[in-house]
Amino acid sequence: MDDEFEKGTGPKRFTYRELIRAANNFAEEGKLREGGFGGVYKGLLNEGTITEVAVKRVSRGSKQGKKEYVSEVKINICLRHRNLVRLIGWCHERGELLLVYELMPNVSLD
pLDDT for 68-96, tens place per residue?
888 888 877 777 777 778 889 999 999 89
Write out pLDDT tens, residues 18-49.
999 999 999 999 999 998 788 999 999 987 88
The total number of structural domains in the chain stands at 1
What's the pLDDT score for residue 68?
84
68 Cβ contact partners less than 8 Å away, ≥ 6 residues apart: 37, 58
Total residues found in the chain within this entry:
110
110 lies in some domain: no
How many angstroms separate the CA atoms of 10 and 84, rounded?
14
What's the pLDDT score for residue 8?
52
Q: What CATH number is given to the structural domain containing 89? A: 3.30.200.20
**Dihedral sign computed on CA atoms, order 77, 59, 43, 48:** negative
pLDDT at 64 over 70: yes
69 lies in some domain: yes
Please compute the mean of the pLDDT values over residues 48-77 and round it to a whole number: 83
Expressed as residue numbers, the domain containing 7 is 2-102
How many angstroms separate the CA atoms of 54 and 100, rounded?
6
107 lies in some domain: no
74 lies in some domain: yes
23 lies in some domain: yes
Among residues 15, 1, 8, the alpha carbon closest in space to that of 79 is found at 8
68 lies in some domain: yes
Going by the DSSP 8-state scheme, the letter that residue 31 receives in this structure is E
